Amino acid sequence: MRGAVIHAPGDVRYEERADPTIVEPTDAVIRTVAACVCGSDLWRYRGISSVPKPTPIGHEYVGVVEEVGSSVTSVRPGQFVVGGFLTSDNTCAVCRKGALANCLHRTGYDGCQAELIRVQNADGTLIATPETPADDLVPGILSLSDVMCTGWHAAVSADVRPGSTVVVVGDGAVGLSGVLAASQLGAERIIAMSRHASRQAIATDFGATHIVAERGDEGIAHVLDLTDGIGADSVLECVGTTESVTQALRAARPGGQVGWVGVPHDPEFPQQHMFWANVGLRGGPAPVRAYLPDLLERVWSRTIDPGRVFDLTLPLAEVADAYAAMDERRAIKVLLQP
Ligand SMILES: [Zn+2]
């Protein structure tokens, strides 16, 4: 089979690789129907995270089950499935508490931007759709592999509830998904911080009631104008830089809560905006498998269309162009088709 391998910053190649096989009885092998590039993949592409050796890349996928190990019971060959960016057994002590991203037996993947994918912990990771989805549902289902569940996790971690005032920091695919999540969870006022017209338009369609284009002190001043001068009940941090975390903490009202899903790459931590303001900060990798049944139902019933974050579709063989397009911000998120 063929798949994407990152060799060095800026150097992603589509290469011949060994076909994955069933190694453990809990494994499944799936044939990819669609995959995509994550904002977090760009950390290595941009050289911010290191690439010590050529490494298969990608962790978002939907596909059709080819083969399952002898102990797999919840999915069978021929079914259309989606799974999260980490695998989980859904049975260990941590999973039973609902924190499935921290499963004691979690694993990653050997590159999902590929024609075939080995999925470990198949029973605790994959969920099958009721039937083979219509083509136009595939992007929405694919978004549940990471980006929509991550936006949802930001909203849940920020304690968004009916009537909440919400600020979303970050207008990438996760931030836009966070807007949609906040809207679905009943937020009354959703302020999307975005400087790009095309992203503002999606944010508005997803439920944003206000757009704030400024950043820094000006951005905070505009947020305060829209929140009775006190800041938002809930803030979704969907970037991960010190600047954006600081912006998120400052946008929260006293006693407010920040949901943090932007992967941090900087040790600095703006404590001064937390302790004295009684602002909470909680988040991390999303427990995808915990959110999947509910969110798949919302997509399947066409209640939500989170697949709109994909604004470019390319053949998987052109995966290098997909990275370039996202790196250069020519695309919000690229869907790849084998
Ligand atoms: Zn577990």
Query: Domain limits of the chain?
Result: 2-146+287-337, 151-283
Q: How confident is the model at residue 5 (pLDDT cuts 50, 70, 90)?
A: very high
Ligand 1 center to 156 CA (angstroms): 20
pLDDT of residue 269: 75
Q: Is the pLDDT of residue 220 over 80?
A: yes
Alpha helices in 163-287 (DSSP H): 173-184, 197-206, 216-226, 242-251
Ligand 1 center to 230 CA (angstroms): 40
Of all residues in the chain, the percent with pLDDT exceeding 70 is 100
pLDDT of residue 267: 66
Give the C-alpha separation, 215 to 194, whole Å.
9
Ligand 1 center to 276 CA (angstroms): 36
Q: How confident is the model at residue 128 (pLDDT cuts 50, 70, 90)?
A: very high
Residue 126, number of CB atoms within 10 A of its CB: 24
Ligand 1 center to 96 CA (angstroms): 7
Q: Which residue has the tokens 């998987």?
A: 316
For residues 232 and 251, is the Cβ–Cβ distance under 8 A?
yes
Query: How large is the average pLDDT for residues 53-71?
Result: 98
Model confidence pTM above 0.85: yes
Neighbouring-strand partners of residue 83: 61
What is the chain's percent helix, strand, coil content, to nearest 5? 35, 25, 40
Ligand 1 center to 95 CA (angstroms): 4
Give the C-alpha separation, 178 to 185, whole Å.
10
Query: How large is the average pLDDT for residues 278-284?
Result: 95
Maximal C-alpha separation, the chain: 60
Ligand 1 center to 305 CA (angstroms): 29
Q: What is the per-residue pLDDT across 181-206, written as a single tens digit (0 to 9) for each?
A: 999 999 999 999 999 999 999 999 99
Q: What is the DSSP letter of 317?
A: G
Ligand 1 center to 91 CA (angstroms): 5
pLDDT of residue 272: 82
Ligand 1 center to 338 CA (angstroms): 31
For residues 100 and 288, is the Cβ–Cβ distance under 8 A?
yes
DSSP E strand stretches across the chain: 2-8, 11-16, 28-36, 55-56, 61-68, 80-83, 116-119, 127-128, 165-169, 189-193, 210-212, 232-237, 252-260, 280-283, 312-315, 334-337
Phi, psi of 245 (to 5 degrees): -65, -40
Give the C-alpha separation, 272 to 247, whole Å.
12
Per CATH, domain 151-283 is 3.30.56.10: no
Q: Is the pLDDT of residue 263 over 90?
A: no
Query: How large is the average pLDDT for residues 53-70?
Result: 98
Q: Which residue has the tokens 């060799």?
A: 7
Query: How large is the average pLDDT for residues 167-186?
Result: 98
Ligand 1 center to 68 CA (angstroms): 19
Q: How confident is the model at residue 268 (pLDDT cuts 50, 70, 90)?
A: confident
| Mutual angle of helices 173-184 and 147-157, in 10-degree steps | 50
How would CATH label the architecture of 2-146+287-337? Alpha-Beta Complex (3.90)
For residues 282 and 303, is the Cβ–Cβ distance under 8 A?
no
Q: Is the pLDDT of residue 246 over 90?
A: yes
Ligand 1 center to 110 CA (angstroms): 19
